[in-house]
A = this chain, B = another copy of it.
Amino acid sequence: MEPSNYGTYLVTQESLSDGRSTLEVVEAAVTGGVDVVQLREKGTDTRWRYDLGLEVREVTAAADVDLIVNDRVDVATAIDADGVHVGQSDLPVSVARELLGPEAVIGCSASTVAEAEAAEADGANYLGVGSIYGTTSKDVPEPEDDVGPDRVAEIAEAVSIPIVGIGGVTAENAGSVIEAGAVGVAVISEITAADDPAAATDALASSVERTKRKANERSRR
């Protein structure tokens, strides 16, 4: 799948799922229409993530949903993921590209225009921009100040690769992120900690789609 189609993007973190396994959350998100799943699971053993990754790969592949691995290029290769997502403290995008080859999807976190431009120049296929509204996932480190939808608009102006907004995004505020120029929204808690993760995914996907449809109608006039 092209990252320009990453409308609804789940980032996994079993420690935030209120007792559900990540595999259950992923299955529910797939049912609800998620486009891409990032295996994150900060603070866990490599072996645990690898074993989980093999299972998540089966579920996502069967539904034609992309799978991205946070930080670990080796785990991504080992579980046959579609790519990796690197932050500013992970391997450089250029190194990940050299290890993974030209076909892999490489995403990069960016919270400023400078970071976004550097990531694009290094060969990133999409950007994770945030934190937009401040994360509600408190045990996930989010050192940056909230950047708001305006930063998405600034970055969208500066680069030509797709942007996914992350950080405190909900079905209610997702529309503002899309209107600012993001192709999609990435969430942990909004799906992972929801009473009904499938319904939460569907609500998020509907909000994203509705906003895109309206924008298309406006641009056609």
What DSSP secondary structure best describes chain A's contact surface? helix
Query: Interface readout for A80-116 with B: 1 if CB under 8 Å, 0 if not?
Result: 0000000011111001101100000000000000000
Chain A contact patch, size range: 20 to 34
Quick one: which of A29-51 are within 8 Å of B by CB?
45-48, 50
**A45-B89, A74-B77 known, 12 other contacts, Cβ within 8 Å:** A46-B89, A46-B90, A46-B91, A47-B88, A47-B90, A47-B92, A50-B92, A72-B74, A74-B96, A74-B99, A75-B91, A77-B99
Bound-complex Cα distance A75 to B90 (A): 10
List B contacts of A91 (CB < 8 A): 46-47, 50, 74-75, 78
Q: Report the separation of the CA atoms of residues A91 and B50 in the bound assembly, to the nearest whole angstrom.
A: 7
A71-B49 Cα distance, complex, nearest whole Å: 13
A16 to chain B, nearest CB (A): 21
Closest Cβ of chain B to A167, distance in Å, is 20
Chain B's closest residue to A47 (CB) is B89
Point out which of A46, A75, A99 has the most chain B C-beta atoms below 10 A from its C-beta: A46
CB distance from A97 to the nearest CB of B (A): 11
